[in-house]
Amino acid sequence: MITVHHLNDSRSQRVLWALEELGLPYEIRFHARDAATRLAPPELKAIHPLGKSPVIEHEGQVVFESGAILDYLSRRCAGGRLAPPSASPEYDVYQQWMHYAEGSAMLPLMLDMYVRRLGEAGGPLQPRIESEIANHLGFVDGALAGRDYLLGEFSLADIQMSFVGEAGAMLGRLAGHERFAAWVRRCQDRPAYRVALERGGPYNMGPKD
């Protein structure tokens, strides 16, 4: 059995979504953020030294980091489903999206969230943040031209990138990036996404309808 250590309002929601899309059985162990600090609870350190989510346990192995978890689930538990064949050119594009989500795309959005809390003190940083957000959101928007999903067909790359789109939507940054905004809505309308949302509980970055 796959055990997901799920933290509210976190990237672990996309792990639940991936499990639903792949049709894999799993159980959830819920962890709650501190209401004041929004930090993960200390008991997560008993699962992994970083004390962060998502983390899964499967057959005595602990796997952390969203991209690694999604790859593990597909490769080890689902016969490679929702990923292109490893020898295909599409696999290289797929891997770029899997790494891009957290390696580059999330950084300016995270900086925007934190710098906003600084008020006027964060002013000098804002022009660079604005430039980087526009660059990354524009890149994704352009990549979606003429296709419903990042590789054309739905894949785990869409799940991995979903947190970027949902963060952008939450921050009101998708105006002018209509293909990206439509992709977020398309992902959130998938039945497996909705089931994962029901199982995972409240998720402030989810659909607002």
- What integer pLDDT is reported at residue 38 of this predicted model? 80
pLDDT greater than 70 at residue 192: yes
**2-82+193-200, what's its fold?**
Glutaredoxin (3.40.30)
- What integer pLDDT is reported at residue 179 of this predicted model? 98
Report the predicted TM-score, pTM, of the whole model to 2 decimal places.
0.94
Question: Considering the chain, what percentage of its residues have pLDDT values greater than 70?
Answer: 100
Q: Where are the domains of the chain?
A: 2-82+193-200, 89-190
pLDDT greater than 90 at residue 122: no
Q: Where does 89-190 sit in CATH, by number?
A: 1.20.1050.10
How does residue 37 score in pLDDT terms, banded at 50, 70 and 90?
confident
DSSP for the chain?
-EEEEEETTSTHHHHHHHHHHHT--EEEEEE---TTT-PPPGGGGGTSTT--S-EEEETTEEEESHHHHHHHIIIIISTTTTS--TTSHHHHHHHHHHHHIIIIIHHHHHHHHHHHTTGGGGGGGHHHHHHHHHHHHHHHHHHTTT-SBTBBB--HHHHHHHHHHHHHHHTT--TT-HHHHHHHHHHHTSHHHHHHHHHH---TTS---
